[in-house]
């Protein structure tokens, strides 16, 4: 589905990959409804859109609030008339601790945002997408959704749930006009740790020196994702680390899991 003249809804549009997707799609001639819990983030996205603001609307919504999500289509359709695509980007990570040390409030928050928020958006917008001649749903999972990452076990579980839900949705919609893509980003240079309320714990001393792959810039990640959507791809691995670890994990799951465990050891040291 080509982006030009399409009406696209993007969650997480106030920062990181979501913001860059908004800007990328606007540059391709799409109309975009950017959804985020952060009013300040959405305002900055709108400012960055510059002269393309006439094709952008911003919506301050907590996607874990089902009633708020269910009110969105009326707002967006009132402005644009229809909805052609949905990209679920909004997500948070957990504190970098083992399951044994992770409190239930953090567990529920991660699952609510990453899984239920994505589910609410899909359930709410799918009936409208099915009415379009062509439409698309793209959901952001994670490299952590297919590969176990110690210290991010619940985050990984939430993203694995997104992965399987998206793949099943692809099968369920195979005879419809709606195409579905699952997205697996690796390490992307965003503020997800701070935005998740867990602090900048990604940059622990010595950790960056051990990384085999550089973080991918968010705008480059967005370009890869938009290209995958326009080509109706089943899945897309964003970043060389994601592609490489997918290959290794398929080849030797235990060895791949051990490699990641060693990389994360500094974050979990007592």
Q: Is residue 151 part of a domain?
A: yes
Amino acid 189: pLDDT: 78
Partner residues linked to 9 by β-bridges = 33, 86
Q: Is residue 30 part of a domain?
A: yes
With cut-offs at 50, 70 and 90, classify the pLDDT of residue 200.
very low
With cut-offs at 50, 70 and 90, classify the pLDDT of residue 192.
low
Average pLDDT for the chain: 92
Report the number of distinct structural domains present in the chain. Answer: 1
Amino acid 268: pLDDT: 82
- Distance (Å, whole) CA 220 – CA 49: 17
Residues 24-48 have a mean pLDDT of 98
Nearest Cα neighbor of 241 from 256, 253, 226 is 256
Tell me 216's DSSP state.
B
- Residue in the structure block whose two tokens are 């969650």: 11
Amino acid 207: pLDDT: 38
pTM score above 0.85: yes
Residue 26 pLDDT greater than 60, yes or no: yes
Residue 197 pLDDT greater than 50, yes or no: yes
CATH number of the domain where residue 140 is located: 3.40.50.720
Residue 34 pLDDT greater than 60, yes or no: yes
Residues 202-207 have a mean pLDDT of 37
What does the block give as tokens for 88?
A: 């679920």
Residue 196 pLDDT greater than 60, yes or no: no
Amino acid 199: pLDDT: 55
- Distance (Å, whole) CA 187 – CA 17: 12
Residue 191 pLDDT greater than 90, yes or no: no
SS (H, E, C) 129-190: HCCCCCEEEEEECCHHHCCCCCCCHHHHHHHHHHHHHHHHHHHHCCCCCEEEEEEEECCECC
Residue 213 pLDDT greater than 50, yes or no: yes
- Distance (Å, whole) CA 128 – CA 86: 11
- Distance (Å, whole) CA 72 – CA 65: 11
Q: Is residue 1 part of a domain?
A: no
Q: Does the annotation mark 155 as catalytic?
A: yes
Residue 150 pLDDT greater than 80, yes or no: yes
Q: Is residue 87 part of a domain?
A: yes
Residues 209-224 have a mean pLDDT of 79
With cut-offs at 50, 70 and 90, classify the pLDDT of residue 266.
confident
Q: Which domain holds residue 160?
A: 7-268
Q: Is residue 2 part of a domain?
A: no
Amino acid 202: pLDDT: 43
Q: What share of the chain is helix, strand, coil (3-state, %, to 5)?
A: 55, 15, 30
Q: Is residue 35 part of a domain?
A: yes
DSSP letters spanning 35-48: EES-HHHHHHHHHH
Q: Which of 104, 116, 120, 155 is catalytic?
A: 155
């Amino acid at each position: 589905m080509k982006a030009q003249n399409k009406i696209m809804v993007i969650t997480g549009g106030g920062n990181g990959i979501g913001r860059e997707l908004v800007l990328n799609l606007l540059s391709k001639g799409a109309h975009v409804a950017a959804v985020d819990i952060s009013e300040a983030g959405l305002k900055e996205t709108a400012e960055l859109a510059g002269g393309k603001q006439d094709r952008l609307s911003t919506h301050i919504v907590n996607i874990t609030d089902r009633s708020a999500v269910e009110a969105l289509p009326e707002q967006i359709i009132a402005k644009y008339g229809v909805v052609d695509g949905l990209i679920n980007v909004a997500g948070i990570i957990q504190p970098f601790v083992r399951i044994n040390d992770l409190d239930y409030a953090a567990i529920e928050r991660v699952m609510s945002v990453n899984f239920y928020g994505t589910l609410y958006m899909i359930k709410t917008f799918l009936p409208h997408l099915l009415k379009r001649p062509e439409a698309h749903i793209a959901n952001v999972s994670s490299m952590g959704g297919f590969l176990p990452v110690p210290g991010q076990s619940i985050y990984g579980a939430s993203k694995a749930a997104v992965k399987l839900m998206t793949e099943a949705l692809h099968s369920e919609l195979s005879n419809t006009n709606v195409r579905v893509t699952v997205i697996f980003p690796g390490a992307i240079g965003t503020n997800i740790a701070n935005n998740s309320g867990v602090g900048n714990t990604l940059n622990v001393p010595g950790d960056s020196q051990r990384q085999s792959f550089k973080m991918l810039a968010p705008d480059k990640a967005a370009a890869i994702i938009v290209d995958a959507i326009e080509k109706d791809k089943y899945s897309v691995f964003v970043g060389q680390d994601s592609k490489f670890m997918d290959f290794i994990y398929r080849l030797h799951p235990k060895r791949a899991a051990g490699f990641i465990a060693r990389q994360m050891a500094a974050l979990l040291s007592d």
